[in-house]
Amino acid sequence: MIDRYAVIGHPIGHSKSPHIHAAFAAATGQDMSYVAMEAPLDGFRSTVTQFIAEGGKGVNVTLPFKVQAFELATDPQESARLAGAANALKFEGDRILAENFDGIGLVNDIQHNLGVSLQSKRVLICGAGGATRGAILPIAAQSPASLVIANRTSAKAAALAKEFSDRTQLSGCGYEDLQGESFDVILNATSTGLGQDALPLPPGVFASDALAYELVYGKGLTSFLRQAQAAGVTAVADGVGMLVEQAAEAFAWWRGVRPDTAGVIKALTVPLV
């Protein structure tokens, strides 16, 4: 019997995950299927339960169900526990294992695909939501010179930094507190990538040779990336590589083989113009 996997979200029609995992399966010779499933906003648990009953082996989880996925797990792994959210589940008998691969996917894309080492770099993450939470420790593990979280509500950024203070050294602040600071890698983990609003970043926050990274993918030049270019930044990227790299981590977790990602990233990349 073919092994069944899925991605669950609401809405889900835009998801690239079925294409990505079909490419991975073909490249690695895996006998599996992978489909997109839209769960009702109040029906994530029942959707997963039914999928397990029908023989499902694992699922990816996207918005707005990542926290519910974590809460459903019987065996959350460290990445999911620290993030308080899961983007991948694996079903083994009565156990539901949970992982969060978003952070490692981000780091892999920056370091391996974009060729930018995070070691000894000054790193700024804009936003203090779930995406930032999942990225903190994978980035900190690369030994940056500094790691700062900035948010419109400074107290939220400070609280998040304090929550991780026993695991790594980082700070949280408001955007106004960045005056006079400069960073080598600036990540936009806010929702501004989906709209036209610009972040209130002070002049000089982008170092001359900085990397500006938008976690949203497929939107072309977002307001954040335009901000970076206006500040003289030439190295800009969106989150398509992160999307594919986190998918590869989930695929390897499920199937025991890690697929090559370069071809899939190239196929999904939207020019940043």
Kindly state the tokens that stand for 175: 């955007």
User: Which one-letter amino acid corresponds to residue 79?
Assistant: S
**What is the C-alpha to C-alpha distance for residues 259 and 71, in angstroms, rounded to an integer?**
29
Where residue 196 falls among pLDDT bands split at 50, 70, 90? confident
Average pLDDT, the chain: 95
Residue 1 pLDDT: 81
The structural domains of the chain, ordered by start, are: 3-100 (3.40.50.10860), 103-240 (3.40.50.720)
Is pLDDT at 245 greater than 90 in this prediction?
yes
What is the arithmetic mean of pLDDT over 158-183?
95
Residue 167 pLDDT: 87
Residue 110 pLDDT: 98
What is the arithmetic mean of pLDDT over 147-176?
95
Residue 190 pLDDT: 94
Q: 29 burial class (0-12, 13-18, 19+ CB within 10 angstroms)?
A: exposed
Residue 71 pLDDT: 97
Residue 107 pLDDT: 98
Taking a C-beta distance cutoff of 8 angstroms, is the pair 88, 207 a contact?
Answer: no
Residue 273 pLDDT: 82
Kindly state the tokens that stand for 89: 């589940």
Lowest mean pLDDT, pick from 83-87, 111-115, 145-149 = 83-87
> Which residues are 3's β-sheet partners?
32
Where residue 83 falls among pLDDT bands split at 50, 70, 90? confident
What is the arithmetic mean of pLDDT over 214-241?
96
> Which residues are 171's β-sheet partners?
148
Global pTM value: 0.94
**What is the C-alpha to C-alpha distance for residues 231 and 226, in angstroms, rounded to an integer?**
9
Rounded to the nearest 5°, which phi and psi values hold at 200? -80, 60
So which residues are the catalytic ones? 66
Is pLDDT at 194 greater than 90 in this prediction?
no
Angle at Cα 37 formed by Cα 108 and Cα 22, nearest 5°? 50
Share of the chain above pLDDT 70, in %: 100
Residue 166 pLDDT: 87
How does 99-117 read in b/e, with b if 16+ C-beta sit within 10 Å?
Answer: bbbbbbbbbbbbeebeebe
Is pLDDT at 252 greater than 90 in this prediction?
yes
Is pLDDT at 121 greater than 90 in this prediction?
yes
Lowest mean pLDDT, pick from 3-7, 122-126, 144-148, 214-218 = 214-218
